[in-house]
Amino acid sequence: ISLNSILMAQYDVNEDESKVPPLALPDPFISKEGKVITSISEWENIRRPELINLFTEEVYGPIPGDFDEIKFEEVSESQNPLEGLAIFKEIDIRVSRKGQKHSMRLNLFLPQNSSKPSPVILLVNHREKSEDGKIAEDGYWPVENIIKRGFATASFHGETVAPDDAERFSEGVISNLYPEELPNPAGMRTFGAWGWAAMRAMDYFEKDPLIDAKKSTIVGHSRSGKTALWTGAIDERWSVVISNESGCGGAALSRRKFGETVKIINNAFPHWFNDNFKNYADHEESLPIDQHMLAMMMAPRSVYFSSAREDRWADPKGEYLSLKIGSRIYSEIYEQPVAFPDDFENLKAPVLQKHSGYHIREGKHNLTLEDWNHFMDFIELNQ
């Protein structure tokens, strides 16, 4: 029995499209003061910071960027994994703040024979715990395919900064470096911690001469897909942000209340979001934001969402709509039109275009090689 089926039995879960409430989404282009936002500078100086602030306060908590020192130590290097195609490095990232320390491990594969610095793809990993990077079997992290297309790829496990556990989540970077966040109802929780780790990985990429950090992608699946989105919103160094089947609190619109809802997710995973987000359980309509606005935070960089047909818990249509509606940012502010078909139900081929793309594949909730192949097509188009 899966956790989702236990939750389904416990709550009144809607998976019937005809019962989705009419969508009344908050307007991304009207500021808190009622100002209509029409230019890039109004967007970047007024509305975007306002929205980042709302997501921080009401949903995710911050990803703190202040610390005193960061050090990178290569703890191992092997020249011959994947039959000589790659170089594999394990890097310990050690960060200190106010006399306290935290250390996390990054696994990195680089193409062996590249004549120039390689673009990099970071996978935020919450699944298999593997110290040697061998989590490729089921396509979750298909290192060989990624390397063969000329990308470097790195991964860290969320547990190295925050255990995915309601009791123990703070026993990592939160207690070690940012203890003042814990009593704050708007404070840092696991998405803040996992995002913090992704940002420290980026700090490393910027220092490694074999990596082209200006061409960097963050990928996450499900809870890590929510992490990838929040990180990409906060940290504008990522040029492409990819969120796979991230559902409630990630890609999907909360106001649709289809599949997992704000109430269900906060009851099941109280340590993921900050305490303020719990106030919106069964009150999605009073959220000052919705997830289409999170998608918009990536602009003018590129953003990609993906869904699986049978993953109704994550609300594929809600994922698609938030991207489609959010992509107005490119057309209306950055003058870089993108177009998403209206007919979601009959969508077959991936929507591959500059700035914003999407695919839905057959099958269940998972991250597969098929997903990765579309991601890499999108990245190539956007770099």
List contacts with ligand GTR (CB under 6 A). Answer: 3-4, 222-223, 247-248, 260, 265
**C-beta closer to ligand GTR: residue 111 or 247:** 247
User: Can 365 be counted among the known catalytic residues?
Assistant: yes
Quickly count: other Cβ atoms within 10 Å of residue 327's Cβ: 27
Instruction: Catalytic residue, from 126, 271, 365, 374: name it.
Output: 365
User: Can 222 be counted among the known catalytic residues?
Assistant: yes
**C-beta closer to ligand GTR: residue 7 or 186:** 7
| CB-based burial label for 158 (10 Å; 0-12, 13-18, 19+) | buried
The nearest distance, CB 245 to ligand GTR, in angstroms, is 8
Instruction: Catalytic residue, from 170, 216, 222, 224: name it.
Output: 222
The nearest distance, CB 1 to ligand GTR, in angstroms, is 13
**C-beta closer to ligand GTR: residue 177 or 251:** 251
Sign, CA dihedral 34-59-153-207, equals positive
The nearest distance, CB 198 to ligand GTR, in angstroms, is 16
Q: How far apart are CA 205 and CA 46, in angstroms?
A: 30
Q: How far apart are CA 228 and CA 209, in angstroms?
A: 24
The nearest distance, CB 55 to ligand GTR, in angstroms, is 17
**C-beta closer to ligand GTR: residue 247 or 350:** 247
**C-beta closer to ligand GTR: residue 147 or 228:** 228
The nearest distance, CB 248 to ligand GTR, in angstroms, is 5
Kindly calculate the radius of gyration of the chain based on its CA atoms and give it in whole angstroms: 20
Q: How far is CA 357 from the centre of its chain?
A: 15
The nearest distance, CB 73 to ligand GTR, in angstroms, is 30
The nearest distance, CB 221 to ligand GTR, in angstroms, is 7
Residue of minimal Cβ distance to ligand GTR: 222
* Residue 247 Cα distances to 86, 109, 172, 317, 320, angstroms: 34, 29, 26, 10, 10
**C-beta closer to ligand GTR: residue 274 or 353:** 274
Helices 190-205 and 223-234: crossing angle in degrees, nearest 10, is: 60
Catalytic residues: 222, 365
